[in-house]
Amino acid sequence: MGSVYFIQNRNVSMAIITLLTDFGTTDYYVASLKANILSINSALTIVDISHNIAQSDISHASYVLKHCYRDFPEGTTHMVSVGTTGHPEEKMIAIKLNGHYFVGTDNGLFGLISDNEAQLTAEIPSTNTPSTFIAKQLLSTTAAKLANGTSLKDIGKPIPAYKKMLSRHLRATKKQIVGNVIRIDHYGNLITNIEHKAFEKLHQNRQFSISFGRYQSRSIHKYYGQVEPGDYFVLFNDSGLLEIGIYLGNASELLGLEFDSTIMINFED
């Protein structure tokens, strides 16, 4: 049975580390990450978010992380290695944001998961040794230390800011919301950046029409199976985002829409 550490009132035997990478699952890379973490403390709990992010696809990785990290208990450590190259000038960072810890490359990904500023930051000191597997050597080790109760102040020096990228924002007037497809999921469903709260603010019980490509809907469904197989549905998903799909079909292929396609909601006076 693994050791139990009590540091700053944290029961480290219950500590969680999540992993999000673009490593895939056909090689040994993920197993090596976990082995390194468990060699530091075998009592840590490791959860795989995904290892099937496309190579260096920061947009997809940030979308996945943004919509699931809050499902974990506060204090969880999230290790991310997407687009990590191991270049000597590549900055590795650890931050505390919204009660969670994040470890990864300073490539703009963490700036996309929240508009809030980090509560604490640290630059992870370089090993000064070239590595083809910096995620194992540096990132997983740092994540394990944080999960073990090490303070961010002891991880490295604070940084004044970390890299942030601009995400696609919707445009809205009293009569119209214009958004975009920000993700095509495993089922071919179209996830947009139109939030339910923005829709409700402008809706005010007015009639509306939702336009996507050559198609239009005047209603919003409550669940996926509310339409017949082959018919399209429009609903707000668990993340509060407008989603368009075809029941038992691939909406992206059948509707001819793709990443960044425009979605419009028009309100009638």
pLDDT tens profile 105-162: 999 999 999 989 999 999 999 876 667 899 999 999 999 999 999 999 999 999 999 9
Question: Which of 41-55, 67-81, 155-169, 228-242 has the lowest average pLDDT?
Answer: 155-169
Residues 20 and 28: their CA atoms lie apart, in Å, by 15
pLDDT the model gives residue 3: 39
Residues 24-48 have pLDDT tens digits of 999 999 999 999 999 999 999 999 9
Look up the pTM and report it. Answer: 0.86
CATH H superfamily, domain 171-267: Bacterial fluorinating enzyme like (2.40.30.90)
64 three-class SS: helix
pLDDT the model gives residue 8: 41
Whether the CB-CB separation of 103 and 139 falls below 8 Å is answered with yes
Topology given in CATH for the domain delimited by 6-155: Rossmann fold (3.40.50)
pLDDT the model gives residue 6: 36
Residues 175 and 152: their CA atoms lie apart, in Å, by 47
Residues of the chain with CATH 2.40.30.90: 171-267
Residue 128 Rama label (left phi>0; alpha psi -120 to 50; beta):
left
**For the purposes of burial, counting CB atoms within 10 Å of the CB of 167, is it exposed (0-12), middle (13-18) or buried (19 or more)?**
middle
Residues 208 and 136: their CA atoms lie apart, in Å, by 51
The predicted model gives 172-196 an average pLDDT of 95
Any bridge partners for residue 184, and if so which?
A: 190
Strands 171-172 vs 262-267: parallel, antiparallel or unpaired: unpaired
Residues of the chain with CATH 3.40.50.10790: 6-155
Confidence of residue 11 (pLDDT cuts 50, 70, 90): low
What are the DSSP E strand ranges found in 91-175? 92-97, 100-105, 120-123, 171-172
Confidence of residue 12 (pLDDT cuts 50, 70, 90): low
